Amino acid sequence: MNTISKYFFLTLCISILINADILKADCVVFVKPDSTDWTLNEYQDQITDSVRITRKHNQSLFNIAQEDGYSGSNGSPVGTLWAGMTTADASSANYTNFVTMHGGSTQSIIGDTVSLYLPDDDLYFDVIFTSFSGGNSGGGFSYIRLSV
Is it the case that residue 74 has pLDDT exceeding 70? yes
Q: Average the pLDDT over 2-20 and give the result.
A: 49
By residue count, the chain amounts to 148
pLDDT tens for each residue of 99-116: 999 998 899 999 999 999
Is it the case that residue 56 has pLDDT exceeding 70? yes
CA distance 86 to 37: 31
Phi, psi values for residue 28, rounded to 5°: -120, 130
Q: Write down the pLDDT at residue 80.
A: 98
128, 116 contact by CB (below 8 A): no
pTM of the full predicted structure? Answer: 0.84
> Residue 132, exposed/middle/buried by CB under 10 A (0-12, 13-18, 19+)?
buried
Q: Write down the pLDDT at residue 6.
A: 42
Q: Write down the pLDDT at residue 19.
A: 54
CA distance 55 to 64: 9
Q: Write down the pLDDT at residue 25.
A: 65
CA distance 64 to 135: 21
Q: How far is CA 38 from the centre of its chain?
A: 14
